[in-house]
Structure 1
């Protein structure tokens, strides 16, 4: 398992996201133990691990939905700990949670307008919505449909579009491929990779679909029992069969 030597990364110059010494517990002991992860602008980092490894807890700590007991979370040098969830969003953090974040009673376009509410006004908002439709063409065809009328793939596209229209600097996603058809997954993964490069967007992608995540990621971070056990280039992880068997189950 040669990649395990990268489990404790050195400080990366120009990091947009810097998580250092993060510890999270729910009362029965820590769920995350001294987790440190860094990521640069334009970098896609796949957050991998078995169920219960701590991936969703880590994303919850990023957004403030889960309280960290130690450590720091910095985005472009600003410490997010202590901020309310909405203030973290205004500082450039967007989360697409497991189960998506679409308002079923609103139309596709109304959902996008809601996502753009505090970032864009007037003509700028219309241009931003047009950009999402260009990114996800099925959404334009369904722009007058209510969220609950969409297919699973369309809802995930809309959830991602709502996050991106706010122009975040860090986009965190929890299992975006869950339950979706392979062609839809491929489109979403490709869009994430292209958007990260074009916008300099930092992406933290928590996924059970290890092959799909590593296919677009620059790096992979493997969590096991709440600890970072591997931090390595995505290609290195994909090729290390001993590591995959040990921590990822295939």
Structure 2
């Protein structure tokens, strides 16, 4: 097994329950992810996708269940310790520092993972992955287009070399060509590095086009867990849970 493949990590979610305001938002959710796998997490607004990602990264308290990341119980770890273990979140709204330049954002992302020449190589790797960022490397975050900000948010997460990356609506509000580029980059990176990807998306067609599997949430419960191609071809299921 090469070094890149070893970066991946397995995730097992067992009987996960999250309560808000006295009522459950997630009800006994179960799923398994394996290294190098791209999983599309689908469902209507309010289905529980963002809550699930928040529980995974420690931003949302868990009422019951297990979150086992490569043999480690995540519920015992703080959010920052989960990140150091190799779990990254790119939240809805794009997690960049708007007052910093593109390059400063990338250096911040690389701060505790890379030093010296290794950091410079890592930054060059992100520029090769997202060419528009190199042309804008001296621009402040607030000067970027929506697509450039999303590329920077993803680049800043990837430069820390996560083993699992969770993304919340990365295509929201972006032009179709930018969405295609981001989706293709995610797929290629997952396969090259053995990176595990959990992709929460309203853009069902785009998500399934790069995913190995699709998991559908409905009212906080897993109602479908199937190969992406099977889900894309099942019109009745799509109509029932995904609205198209």
TM (normalized to structure 1)?
Answer: 0.94
Instruction: Specify which of 134, 137, 140 is matched with residue 143 of structure 1.
Output: 137
2:149 match: 155
How far 1:82 sits from its partner (Å)? Answer: 2.7
Alpha-carbon distance in structure 1 between the residues aligned to 2:36 and 2:132: 26
2:98 is the alignment partner of 1:118: no
Cα pair 1:129 1:165 within 8 Å, conserved: yes
Alpha-carbon distance in structure 2 between the residues aligned to 1:92 and 1:102: 19
Alpha-carbon distance in structure 2 between the residues aligned to 1:63 and 1:147: 24
In structure 2, list runs of 5 or more residues that go unmatched. Answer: 1-7
Cα pair 1:15 1:38 within 8 Å, conserved: no
Alpha-carbon distance in structure 2 between the residues aligned to 1:105 and 1:117: 17
Which has the larger displacement, 180-189 or 73-82?
73-82
Instruction: Specify which of 74, 83, 91 is matched with residue 89 of structure 1.
Output: 83
How far 1:26 sits from its partner (Å)? Answer: 1.1
How far 1:15 sits from its partner (Å)? Answer: 6.9
Alpha-carbon distance in structure 2 between the residues aligned to 1:232 and 1:154: 32
CA RMSD of superposed structures (Å): 0.9
Alpha-carbon distance in structure 2 between the residues aligned to 1:71 and 1:22: 4
In structure 1, list runs of 5 or more residues that go unmatched. Answer: 1-13
For 1:127-206, what aligned pairs fall within 5 Å after superposition?
A: 127-206=121-200
For 1:1-250, what aligned pairs fall within 5 Å after superposition?
A: 16-250=10-244
Deviations 1:214-244 (A, max 9, x none): 0000000000000000000000000000000
TM (normalized to structure 2)?
Answer: 0.96
Deviations 1:55-87 (A, max 9, x none): 000000011110001111111111111311100
Alpha-carbon distance in structure 1 between the residues aligned to 2:42 and 2:227: 13
- For residue 47 of structure 1, give the secondary structure of its aligned residue in structure 2: strand
Cα pair 2:208 2:229 within 8 Å, conserved: yes
- For residue 215 of structure 1, give the secondary structure of its aligned residue in structure 2: helix
Alpha-carbon distance in structure 1 between the residues aligned to 2:175 and 2:22: 38
1:6 match: none
Cα pair 2:216 2:222 within 8 Å, conserved: yes
